[in-house]
Amino acid sequence: MPPKCPAMSPGIAKKTRKSLTLKKAKRCGQSNVYLVLTAAATAIAMLCKEVGITALGVCSAYDIILAHGGVIGRTVILLVLGHSTRAVSSWRSIPDGVVRRMVWRHVVLMVTGVGLLVARWIVMGSTVPRFMKVDNPASFLDSVVFRSLNYQYTYSMNALLLILPIWLCFDWSMGCVPVIVNFSDPRLLTLPVLWVSFIMLLRRGMAQGRGSQTSR
């Protein structure tokens, strides 16, 4: 018969619980500090360019898809694909308190985003911005298909500039990027490369998150 482990004394158990509580409170405090810093950085970014508010969306996507070992992202994907049984199993593997804290972070991000949009609306005199064709020629194309293709090409070009900033411009309007108007345009080849690369990076990130969660 294997030897029995000695029971933990009440004093040690109390100290252990207190230590765990303090560590948890410290992590929550750090998370709140990061939330405040994120909101402040986003507000500063919007002073330079209105697209700075998209940082909140990036934080939200990261929190859902990749954070916590990617378990929440896998659960959402399984639900979308209709694998309800596997989704329930994945949901049960989520540690206690993770979803509650994630909801809290998203509430803060949403309130921050709404507040910044309202402030932006007030600064602009409660009027909607008006864009002309020279500002964004792709938005004025009659074909919805080519409009969408041009938007996606813009994404691929921005992704390339993140990796290899070989040319930069302070303003991409005034026809700096010629619009795609036919299917023979070779720039369309960048679109499948963009989305395949994105899916591969997403799968790799989720796989690494799953591995790190298993090793804990």
Q: What is the pLDDT of residue 206?
A: 66
**What is the residue-wise DSSP string for 75-109?**
HHHHHHHT-HHHHHHHHHTSPTTHHHHHHHHHHHH
Q: Quick one: how far is CA 151 from the chain centroid? A: 19
Per-residue pLDDT tens over the stretch 117-171: 898 888 877 777 777 777 788 888 889 999 999 999 989 988 888 888 888 776 6
Query: What tens digit of pLDDT does each residue of 31-82 get?
Result: 788 888 999 999 999 888 888 898 999 888 888 877 666 677 777 777 777 7
- For the chain, what is the largest distance between any 2 Cα atoms, rounded to a whole number of angstroms? 84
Q: For residue 35, which amino acid is it?
A: L
φ, ψ (nearest 5 deg) of residue 184: -85, 0
Please tell me the distance from the alpha carbon of residue 70 to that of residue 59, in angstroms, as a whole number: 14
pTM tops 0.95, yes or no: no
Buried-state track 1-38, b at ≥16 Cβ within 10 A, e below 16: eeeeeeeeeeeeeeeeeeeeeeeeeeeeeeeeeebeeb
